[in-house]
Each structure stands twice: as C-alpha cells, then as structure tokens.
Amino acid sequence: MDRRLVHALQVDGRAPFSTIAAALGVSDRTIARRYTRLRSTGALRVLGGIDPTALGGAVLWLVRVRCAPSASVAVAEALARRPDTSWVSLTSGGTEITCTVRTESDADSEALLLARLPRTPRVEGVSAHSVLHSFYGGPDNLIAKLGPLDAETVSALSPPPLPHRPGPVRLDDGDRRLLAALAADGRTGTEQLAKVTGWSPTTVRRRMTELRERGVLYLDIDCDGRLLGIGTRTLLWLSVAPPHLEEAGRALAGHPEVAFAAATTGPTNLYATVVCPDQRALYRYLTTRVAALPAVTHVETAPVIRTVKQAANRL
C-alpha cells in the first residue's frame, strides 16, 4: 500500500486523500494515516520543483568538484547548504563531489564556478557542464517507471492536462514566497499559501496554475528508494557522436534504470543518473542497454557512495 500511495502521489502530488483512497480502493483514513507516517519519518515528501530553463536567463549546471579526501565531506556539506544546489553527492571513492546548481544569470555562474569554488581550500579542480536539453527528469520521475499502479488507476488519478504557455517568466516576491513554500512541502494547503504570499486563495490557485502552464513549477516526489526496491545511484558521463546525440538521449530516457538524462556541454555530451539493484545488475545494464546505444565512444561511471542533499533547487 505504501508503494501504491507513492505512485499515486507521483501522478498527482496534490490529489486529495479522498481521490487517492477511491482509486486505490481503501478508506480516506488509511491513506491519511500512511501518508502522515511516511512524511513524519522522512520516507516521503511531495516537493514543488522548479525548471530553471523557464525563467529565461537561468542555467542548470552539473558541477564536478575534485577534493582532497579529507576535505570532501566538508565541501559537500557547504555546497548542500546553498539554496541553489540539489543532488549533492560524493562519488569516486569520496574524492569527487557532484551536484546540480541553478544560476539565474551569467554573473551568478561566474561568481560560483570561476571565483568561489576554485579558491576553496582543498579543492583540486572544478568542471561544470551546462544542461542543454533534458531527455528525462524534472516532472518525469523514476517512480513513473517503477511504480506498481496499472494504467487504468494512473489514468483515474491523472489531473486534466494543462496547456503549455511558452515564454520566459518574471517572478515577483509573492511568486518566490509561493515557490519556496511549495519546495518545502508541495501539499501545503491553499489557505496556508495565501498567508505566506499575502494573496487571496483564489489568486494562489490562479498563480499556481499559471506557473505550471509556463513550465516553471512542477510537482516532484522525494522518497526513500527502499520503498520501491531502488538500489544505489550511478552517474554516467558519455560521449556520443553529435549526429546521434538526440537518438541516444531518447533511447537512454526510455531505459527503466534511468532517473535523469540530459545533453550537456563539456568533454562529454550526454549525462545520466541510473539506478540498479546491485553491482551485478549495473554490469548487465552497461554491457547490454548502454552498449546498444548508437555512436557511444566513451563511458565513465561514477558510483554514488553518499547523497548529502537531495531536495530540489529553491528560489
């Protein structure tokens, strides 16, 4: 039932408990009780995610920081405290930190990537890869691939699709307060959001819809991977011949092991986060599915040994 609840919230993170209960064939009280238990233990959170590409000048970076082993934990924890980072992880035996960083301008990128990080004591090197195109990730969650609900139940839970309204979005202070509250808890009630923003509940609902239509806001699930039998993460850095990059990226996005895939700048041009139950399964994945990708000339694997921060970027 816990796994079914997690999958239901991935389909619609703000669905009323009554709607979820009806779709899963249990009582409202059962759903409320299980959600409260999972939420209180940190096993499950609904988060308001932010897509920086919808904000015009914002850029999402994949940053690799090489450190002396004795300094890696301290540097990783310092990065985790920054509001513009997410998925701060220790890899490569603890000598490298990998994280995603959202910068809102070229000046922000320069300040962090060229000035601050390289001058941090015990940091031996920094490389930054700008995300050019996401093949899988953001509102697309690994739970959608691994969740136990059948297609009929997913359809019953799915909210009506929102129209897409392209174009950069300008945020005011009320928007920032709204997004910060949702980043902390994506199920925060409308009345509480109204108090946080100083808006009326009607304005809150309207603005949330607008931000989702613009692609700025989406709902994400942060859950204990053990609920779905998810093993440890491994980061893949691949080089693909440019004529085949789109084909390879789309194929990678369809793999059930892939939680995130994107085309990037840098010495490699395709990145993926993959999840396998164990080392044997990872070996099979690399020698079958990855080996079958078109025009791959190089693959680097970096097992994640510790995740220091997982929460989505906040504004």
What length is written for the chain? 315
**C-alpha–C-alpha distance, residues 169 and 161, integer Å:** 20
Helix or strand or coil: residue 249? helix
Structure tokens at 131: 């995300």
When pLDDT is cut at 50, 70 and 90, the band that residue 126 belongs to is: confident
User: What's the Cα-to-Cα distance from 235 to each of 100, 116, 256, rounded to whole Å?
Assistant: 12, 25, 15
Q: How far is CA 301 from the centre of its chain?
A: 20
Within a 10 A sphere around the Cβ of 41, how many other Cβ atoms?
Answer: 9
User: What's the Cα-to-Cα distance from 8 to each of 30, 31, 162, 261, rounded to whole Å?
Assistant: 14, 11, 19, 23
Burial per residue of 298-313, b for 16 or more beta-carbon CB atoms within 10 angstroms, e otherwise: ebeebbbeeebbebbb
Q: How far is CA 6 from the centre of its chain?
A: 16
DSSP 52: G
pLDDT at residue 167, as a whole number: 73
Helix or strand or coil: residue 233? strand
pLDDT at residue 50, as a whole number: 83
Q: Is the pLDDT of residue 57 over 70?
A: no
User: What's the Cα-to-Cα distance from 95 to each of 65, 71, 78, 98, 124, rounded to whole Å?
Assistant: 8, 9, 15, 10, 10
Average per-residue pLDDT for the chain = 89
> What is the signed CA dihedral for 100, 105, 106, 107, rounded to 10 degrees?
-100
Structure tokens at 10: 């991935």
**C-alpha–C-alpha distance, residues 206 and 183, integer Å:** 18
pLDDT at residue 86, as a whole number: 86
| pLDDT (average), residues 156-166 | 88
Q: Is the pLDDT of residue 162 over 50?
A: yes
By CB atoms closer than 10 A (0-12, 13-18, 19+), residue 154 is middle
| pLDDT (average), residues 153-159 | 94
- Tens digits of per-residue pLDDT, 181-208? 999 999 999 999 999 999 999 999 999 9
Residues 6+ apart with CB under 8 A from 41: none
Structure tokens at 276: 């396998």
Percent of the chain with pLDDT over 70: 92
DSSP 167: S
Phi/psi for 133 (5° steps) reads: -160, 130
CA atoms within 13 A on the CB side of 191: 0
Within a 10 A sphere around the Cβ of 206, how many other Cβ atoms?
Answer: 12
When pLDDT is cut at 50, 70 and 90, the band that residue 113 belongs to is: low
**C-alpha–C-alpha distance, residues 81 and 305, integer Å:** 19
Beta bridge partners of 48: 219
Helix or strand or coil: residue 266? coil
- Tens digits of per-residue pLDDT, 140-152? 888 989 899 999 9
Q: Is the pLDDT of residue 155 over 70?
A: yes
pLDDT at residue 119, as a whole number: 65
Q: Is the pLDDT of residue 108 over 70?
A: no
Q: How far is CA 311 from the centre of its chain?
A: 8
